[in-house]
């Protein structure tokens, strides 16, 4: 199953419900899940990191679906079709750039 298919399945599962609750509610859940990911990272809990990354991805896809964003296409366009130099041009303070 590719990313496009997964996003479509998320739409089928929760798309209508997500439309009813609205994007700001979805965003607040995403932030909550990012907080849970931060805690898992801090504790170096590999199983929890895996679980929370899935939660974050699910919420990102929920929000993308509400705006008809094709995440697979955007990721390819924005990152995978560029060189590392182009991608990281505006990044500061990354250890490998020092
Ligand atoms: Mg979670």
Q: Find the 44 Cα to ligand 1 centroid distance in Å.
A: 15
Query: Which pLDDT score, from 0 to 100, does residue 88 have?
Result: 85
Q: Find the 7 Cα to ligand 1 centroid distance in Å.
A: 18
Query: Which pLDDT score, from 0 to 100, does residue 30 have?
Result: 98
For the purposes of burial, counting CB atoms within 10 Å of the CB of 52, is it exposed (0-12), middle (13-18) or buried (19 or more)?
Answer: buried
Query: Could you give the number of structural domains in the chain?
Result: 1
Rounded Cα distance, 53 and 63, in Å? 15
What is the length of the chain?
98
Query: Which pLDDT score, from 0 to 100, does residue 81 have?
Result: 93
Residue with tokens 């599962």, as numbered in its chain: 13
Residue with tokens 């859940």, as numbered in its chain: 29
Query: Which pLDDT score, from 0 to 100, does residue 45 have?
Result: 98
Query: Which pLDDT score, from 0 to 100, does residue 97 have?
Result: 67
| 23: containing domain | 3-97
Report the CATH number at residue 75.
1.10.287.1080
Over its length of 98 residues, how does the chain's per-residue pLDDT go in tens digits? 999 999 999 999 999 999 999 999 999 999 999 999 999 999 999 999 999 999 999 999 999 999 999 999 999 999 999 998 888 888 877 777 66
Query: Which pLDDT score, from 0 to 100, does residue 25 have?
Result: 98
Q: Find the 97 Cα to ligand 1 centroid distance in Å.
A: 33
94 CB-near residues (< 8 Å, 6+ apart): 88
Q: Please tell me the pTM assigned to this model.
A: 0.89
């Amino acid at each position: 199953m590719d990313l496009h298919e997964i996003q479509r399945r998320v739409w089928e599962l929760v798309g209508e419900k997500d439309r009813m609750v609205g994007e700001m509610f979805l965003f607040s859940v995403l932030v909550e899940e990012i907080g849970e990911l931060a805690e898992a990272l801090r504790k170096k809990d590999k199983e929890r990191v895996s679980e929370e990354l899935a939660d974050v991805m699910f919420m990102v896809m929920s929000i993308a679906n509400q705006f008809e964003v094709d995440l697979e296409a955007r990721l390819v366009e924005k990152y995978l079709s560029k060189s590392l130099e182009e991608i990281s041009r505006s990044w500061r303070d990354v250890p490998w750039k020092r």
